[in-house]
Amino acid sequence: MTHDEAQTVRRSRSVGRRTVTIGQIVAGLLGLFLVIVGGVAIARLGFESLTGDTTEVLGIGHTLALGIIDVIVGLIFLSAATTSFGVRSTLIGLGSLALAFGAVVTIEPSPFDDFLGDGRPLGVLYLLVGIVALIAGLTTPSYVTEEAAFREERVDEEHTVP
């Protein structure tokens, strides 16, 4: 055997994954914002009346019902931010719902005044949440990037066959 035949090639592969996407960051920020706003409204109002009393949080009138809705939607956004695989569909789905809800409340705010606390400013808030979520969901990749690096080494065999 020649010297070249007595060598083997050892190939090793190291893989790095980018685990955080822009969609996760946006979903986390939207979720955190909604949980804080809803939590402040709940803390100020208590649990006595679901739709009777109102309080202002960031210039938007909130009832207890709206505070609970904000917290639930925020928790869904936060749970979607924990994984890179489900965040895109959650952002697109909840963003579409928030956009539609915000448009309805902005166009016709009076039916929502008694139940949710405030009409037009609430509609604008949910329009903005919906637009941001949709843009982030549509621009977030639906896959995780995997980067691989190969390294080859030539290794002499210890035992050669005669």
Tens digits of pLDDT across the chain (162 residues): 455 555 566 666 665 556 677 888 888 999 999 999 999 988 988 888 777 777 778 888 888 888 898 999 999 989 988 877 788 888 899 999 999 988 988 888 777 766 777 777 888 888 999 999 999 888 877 665 556 666 666 665 565 555
Q: Has residue 157 been placed in a domain?
A: no
Q: Has residue 8 been placed in a domain?
A: no
**Beta partners for residue 112, in sequence order:** none
Q: Has residue 160 been placed in a domain?
A: no
- Per the structure, the count of domains in the chain is 1
What pTM, to 2 d.p., does this model score? 0.71
Please give the distance of CA 119 from its chain centroid, rounded to a whole number: 26
Query: Can you give the residue range of the structural domain that contains 98?
Result: 20-143
* Cα–Cα nearest to 34, from 5, 10, 57: 57
From first CA to last CA, the distance across the chain in angstroms is 8
Q: Has residue 53 been placed in a domain?
A: yes
Taking the C-alpha atoms of residue 129 and residue 29, their distance in angstroms, rounded to an integer, is: 11
Q: Has residue 150 been placed in a domain?
A: no
**Is 97:105 a contact under the CB 8 Å cutoff?**
no
Q: Has residue 115 been placed in a domain?
A: yes
Q: Which residue has the tokens 């939207």?
A: 30
- Pair type for strands 7-17 and 146-156: antiparallel
Q: Has residue 149 been placed in a domain?
A: no
